Amino acid sequence: MAKPLLEFTDRGIYCSKGKFYIDPWKPVDDAVITHAHADHAYWGHKNYLAHHLSKEVLYYRLGEINLQTVEYGETVMKNGVEICLFPAGHVIGSAQIRISYKGEVWVVSGDYKTQEDGISTPFEPVPCQHFISECTFGMPVYQWKEQADIFNDINTWWCNNQQNGLLTVIAGYSLGKAQRILQNLDLNIGPVYTHGVIENTNEALRRNGVVLNPTTRITADTPKDEIRKGIIIAPPSAIGTPWMRKFGPYSFGYCSGWMALRGAKRRRAADRGFILSDHADWDGLMSAIDATGCEKVYLTHGYTASFTRYLNEIGFDAQEVHTLYGDEEYTPDSNTEDTPSKSPPKGETLNEVNDIDNKQVLPLGEDLGGVGGNI
């Protein structure tokens, strides 16, 4: 039998026919990158291929790399193998990678969400025979609310804080969540201030032609009483730091899909937890997998074991694969001052998952997306 078009190796997903890798975690010659999060875009490859909206963020995070960029739907040939990028709806510039050769078609989802966020090009199902899907939130308990409802809650909370004399600080990771928050805040309430890590990513995106709402970078010279009239967007790593404490009485909100877990808000020391994720929820995963019409599905990220079992039970041909992809929320950004020293809070989520479903026991290292979380 012929070798499959894609293989899972200790460097990453490999196409031996085309001699390239997809999101490899060890240095290789040719890397196709789904998106610029640190667990997918590693430093050290000779050549990179990515969507053109990932360009400036990749340069900012990885420095001088040899990068070719393409549009969605544009085909690149490598050693006779066709590579084409399709929108993944995860963050700005994120792509699913379709690989085809002599009628054999594979799609690597990277991270994706099916819900439209208003800033990322909306997810598009891509028909294929083999689908490699993430399943960060592959449990039925994860069901996202409408984005408009979540931002109603956030804007109302901000207004109430103002009335109570509290500054508002909202946390979300620097690529994706921060811009999604920024574009959906009600700027009639006040101006938006940013932590340096967030603003560096905003600037990279603006260099790439992305139009974002106005923001002011917080520096040592920014008057604190001015900041108090607005809202601060900060990365999760800024939580509880002296940087944050110096802003005085504030209410702190945390935006994450993990906020769906009981106790997550308390452990994050957040006053408010908003369930907002850039990954597909349960229904999103099911509909995306279904829409590919695939013969075989491979699962990475998150609840791979239980999700694979479930898919096999309902008639899919599903297989769990081990990768180093993790959860960007717990993956320190490279090349930034945003370097959380803390490991992913392993164990805490295990307990929470057990709260939801006592029968569910996750393999260690998969609770928050695996070892990639601490690289």
CA nearest 70: which of 32, 108, 28, 107? 32
Query: CA-to-CA distance for 240 and 165, rounded, in angstroms?
Result: 20
* Nearest distance, CB of residue 326 and Zn ion, angstroms: 6
Q: Which is nearer to Zn ion, 228 or 279 (CB)?
A: 279
* 325 binds Zn ion, rule: CB under 5 A: yes
* Nearest distance, CB of residue 213 and Zn ion, angstroms: 22
Query: CA-to-CA distance for 257 and 279, rounded, in angstroms?
Result: 8
- Strands 216-217 and 20-22 turn out to be unpaired
Query: CA-to-CA distance for 300 and 107, rounded, in angstroms?
Result: 13
Q: Which is nearer to Zn ion, 14 or 158 (CB)?
A: 14
CA nearest 103: which of 81, 131, 133? 81
* 329 binds Zn ion, rule: CB under 5 A: no
Query: CA-to-CA distance for 251 and 188, rounded, in angstroms?
Result: 19
* 366 binds Zn ion, rule: CB under 5 A: no
Total site size for Zn ion, rule CB under 5 A:
5
Q: What is the dihedral of CA 294, 297, 302, 306, to 10 degrees?
A: 110
* Nearest distance, CB of residue 262 and Zn ion, angstroms: 24
Please name the residue that has the structure tokens 């085909």: 75
Helices (H), the chain: 55-62, 147-163, 177-184, 196-207, 224-227, 242-245, 264-267, 282-292, 304-313, 348-356
Q: Which is nearer to Zn ion, 37 or 195 (CB)?
A: 37
Q: Which of 30, 328, 329, 367 binds Zn ion (CB under 5 A)?
A: 328
x/- letters, 85..114, toward Zn ion (CB under 5 A): --------------------------x---
Q: Which is nearer to Zn ion, 111 or 169 (CB)?
A: 111
* 333 binds Zn ion, rule: CB under 5 A: no
* 37 binds Zn ion, rule: CB under 5 A: yes
Q: Which is nearer to Zn ion, 81 or 88 (CB)?
A: 88
* Nearest distance, CB of residue 242 and Zn ion, angstroms: 29
x/- letters, 263..302, toward Zn ion (CB under 5 A): ----------------------------------------
Question: Phi-psi bin for 269: left (phi > 0), alpha (psi -120 to 50), beta?
Answer: left
* Residue ranges in contact with Zn ion by CB under 5 A: 37, 39, 111, 325, 328
